[in-house]
A and B are shown apart, each in its own frame.
Chain A
Amino acid sequence: QQPVQSPQAVILREGEDAVINCSSSKALYSVHWYRQKHGEAPVFLMILLKGGEQKGHDKISASFNEKKQQSSLYLTASQLSYSGTYFCGTESNTDKLIFGTGTRLQVFP
């Protein structure tokens, strides 16, 4: 069963912040985040493992709340290069990586 991502789309001005959420109905042991720019392959951003860890690089970070079976991706002070579609992927004991339907992010000057 696919995880649910929200919102489906986000429009930002440069410098604004955004949060993308990913939730599952299953107990998870990991959450992956990927970004796909238009016409390109998805590119790995980060993996979060159960234990409630928070990870980040540059101004993109994420958290994983295993009790709520949710993960959130935080984009702060957005840049034009952040535009693209963001996918979360979830793994459980019974399922291999299943991707969500994606969140389209557009950053304008």
Chain B
Amino acid sequence: DVKVTQSSRYLVKRTGEKVFLECVQDMDHENMFWYRQDPGLGLRLIYFSYDVKMKEKGDIPEGYSVSREKKERFSLILESASTNQTSMYLCASSLFLRQGATYEQYFGPGTRLTVT
């Protein structure tokens, strides 16, 4: 059974703290994604990675960075957490997107982050 796991289901941090959200997949997928989910706004892509050490900005990268040192692990970093980053964060993975091909994404259970 395919699996994407995230390090925490719930997290509470203070404004200004550095926050790490970890995601691990066991499907040997090349692509990994970080989304944030807010009511009424759907799923918005923050960053994605198509290979180890490779990353690309998504639609809302401001205030975030990512790290992918191993194929199975993709980390989202909030350098200095702010209250407007309070949200649900979802990680996903998929096979490599080559030209003309598209594959389903497998999602983790999410991390609900509250910044106070």
Contacts and interface: CB of A to CB of B under 8 A. Distances in A.
Q: Do A and B bind each other?
A: yes
Interface of A: 2, 29-30, 32, 34, 40-44, 47, 49, 87, 89, 91, 96-102
Contact of A101 (B35, B41, B102): B41
B45 interface: yes
Given A29-B100, A32-B105, A101-B40, 8 more contacts: A41-B90, A41-B110, A43-B107, A44-B104, A99-B42, A101-B41, A101-B42, A102-B42
Interface string B90-116: 100000010010111111111000000
Contact of B45 (A34, A96, A101): A96
A40 B109 contact: yes
Nearest to A42: B107
A87 B106 CA distance: 14
Contact of A87 (B40, B43, B102, B109): B43
Interface of B: 4, 35, 40-45, 48, 58-59, 90, 97, 100, 102-110
Nearest to A48: B102
Contact of B105 (A44, A100, A101): A44
Contacts of B97: 96
Contacts of A49: 102
Nearest to B35: A99
Contacts of B90: 41-42
Given A41-B110, A42-B90, A32 B42 contact: no
B109 to A, nearest CB: 5
A97 B95 CA distance: 13
B104 A32 contact: yes
B48 to A, nearest CB: 7
B43 A30 contact: no
A47 B102 contact: yes
A47 B104 CA distance: 7
Contacts of A98: 45, 59
Nearest to A1: B59
